[in-house]
Amino acid sequence: MAINRRNFLKAATGSALTAIVAEEAQAFSPRETKELPPKAVGMLYDSTLCIGCKACVAACKQANDQPLEILESQQGWNEGAWDSAIDISAKTLNVIKAYTNGEMTQKDREVDGYAFMKRHCLHCVDPSCVSVCPVSAMQKDPITGVVTHNPDACIGCRYCVVGCPFSVPQFDYETPFPQIHKCQFCSHLQAQGKLPACCDVCPTGASLFGDVRELKEEAKRRLGAEEGEVYEFPRGKLGGDRDSHTAQIPKYQKDFYGDTELGGTQVMYLSGVPFDKLGLPTNVPDKSYASISEGIQHTLYKGMIAPLTLLSGLLFMAYRNRKHHDDDEQSPKEDL
């Protein structure tokens, strides 16, 4: 079969296109994932220490003036004595969830066992919510890394709700004047030198506040200790002056969560059952999603050079061709 011009052109266009796709995918490489802020504060939640008392849930409600949540199925008999949120919502910033399997006979065991999980904002190192918000309503403190929300800026587009990989920001659909609700790490209490309410009340030290770098060391110490070894688990704040909680080292998963996942999180987890069983996304890259989408935007809009070049080209063409179109009667000439 002879290669005629038409076929050749087709093949050439095809391979040129393939090259373009490869090129473009290359050009849209992610920006660098952000670094942990200098004085990053965070939390280490050790699921094996959690006894499911929900003191933190109640303390969180009080500290943040959030209303009780009564399940629809309990309307009628639950008159408000029991706050029964089963997940975070517009009314609940923090919740304790349970993983259960089979007979549920042993704590922190994957099969026939159960485990607790605390769910709230993870204060990501490179947060999607901050990256996607059009009006800077989500802010990450450059020193402490705490991610806060400013309702005065928020337009309620809910991009943060869909964009957060942990589905943390909660929008209120039941009111005409809604707002986004999320854990802001009790920054109002921290400003007064107090601990975040949940860490403050935790009886076992399962929710432990502290400097993120030190918390990582603590997590590694626990992971490095022998199973069954007697260990002093700090309470409240790592390096604080509270009595510790003495207990044996449990059987941990081999790593802690939040070191590198999606660029790292300032709230980190230790667990006896696999992290995906606790509802954490595990099949994720080490780079943040924000770095991927911002990579595209930064490539296309760097210094606005590409759009301005395109615009000047368009202006030139439109100006040059303007005469042919400014009068409907005139028959337009072809000169291209």
Partner 1 sequence: MSVHQPLGGKLLTTPFIILSFFALIGGVLMLERFIFGLGAVSNLNNGYAWGIWIAIDVVIGTAFGCGGFVMAILIYIFNKGEYHPLIRPAVMASLFGYTLGGTAVMFDLGRYWQIYNVFLPWYGQLNSVMFEVALCVTGYIIVLWIEFTPVFLERLGIVGLRKKLEKFLFIIVAIGVLLPTMHQSSLGTLMVSMGFKLYPLWNTTLLPVIFLITAIIMGYAIVTFEALLSSAGFQRPYDTTILNKISGITWILLLVYLVIRFTDLIMREQLGLVLVGDLNSIMFLLENLFFVIPVVILASRAKRNSPYFLFISAISMLLAASLLRINTYLIGFNPGGGWSYFPSIAEIMVTVGIFSFEIMLYLIFVKTLPVLHRVEA
Q: Which residues form the interface with ligand SF4 (CB under 6 A)?
A: 59-60, 63-64, 93-94, 120-124, 127-129, 132-135, 137-138, 147, 149, 154-160, 164, 166, 168-169, 180, 182-183, 185-186, 196-198
Tokens coding 197: 């309410």
Least CB distance from residue 15 to partner 1, whole Å? 10
Note whether 189 and 219 are within 8 A (CB): no
Question: Pick from partner 1, ligand SF4, none: which does 262 bind, CB < 5 to 8 A by kind?
Answer: partner 1
- Contact between 7 and partner 1 by CB under 8 A: the answer reads no
| Cα separation, 64 vs 179, whole angstroms | 14
Least CB distance from residue 21 to partner 1, whole Å? 5
| Cα separation, 122 vs 133, whole angstroms | 17
Burial class (CB in 10 A: 0-12, 13-18, 19+), 73: exposed
Least CB distance from residue 319 to partner 1, whole Å? 5
Largest CA distance in the chain: 94
Q: How many residues bind partner 1 (CB under 8 A)?
A: 83
- Contact between 318 and partner 1 by CB under 8 A: the answer reads yes
x-marked contacts with partner 1 along 84-103 as a string, rule CB under 8 A: ---x-xx-------------
Least CB distance from residue 212 to partner 1, whole Å? 22
x-marked contacts with partner 1 along 27-66 as a string, rule CB under 8 A: -x--------------------------------------
Question: Pick from partner 1, ligand SF4, none: which does 329 bind, CB < 5 to 8 A by kind?
Answer: partner 1
- Of 49 and 154, which has the nearer Cβ to ligand SF4? 154
- Antiparallel, parallel or unpaired: β 180-181 and 106-107: unpaired
- Contact between 286 and partner 1 by CB under 8 A: the answer reads no
Residues whose CB is less than 8 angstroms from the CB of residue 134 and which lie 6 or more positions away in sequence, other chains included: 155, 157, 159
- The residues in 180-219 that bind partner 1, with binding defined as CB under 8 A, are 180
Report, in angstroms and rounded to the nearest whole number, the Rg of the chain calculated over CA atoms: 27
Least CB distance from residue 27 to ligand SF4, whole Å? 26
Note whether 294 and 33 are within 8 A (CB): no
- The residues in 145-164 that bind partner 1, with binding defined as CB under 8 A, are 151-159, 161-163
**The only residue of 135, 143, 230, 305 in contact with partner 1, by rule CB under 8 A:** 135
**The only residue of 62, 74, 136, 244 in contact with partner 1, by rule CB under 8 A:** 136
- Looking at beta carbons, which pairs linking 185-188 to residues 24 or more positions away fall under 8 Å? 185/41, 185/43, 185/121, 185/123, 185/146, 185/147, 185/148, 186/63, 186/64, 187/141, 187/146, 187/148
Please tell me the number of Cα atoms within 13 Å of 240 on its side-chain side: 21
**Strand positions, DSSP E, 159-284:** 170-171, 180-181, 207-211, 230-233, 245-248, 267-270
Question: Pick from partner 1, ligand SF4, none: which does 198 bind, CB < 5 to 8 A by kind?
Answer: ligand SF4
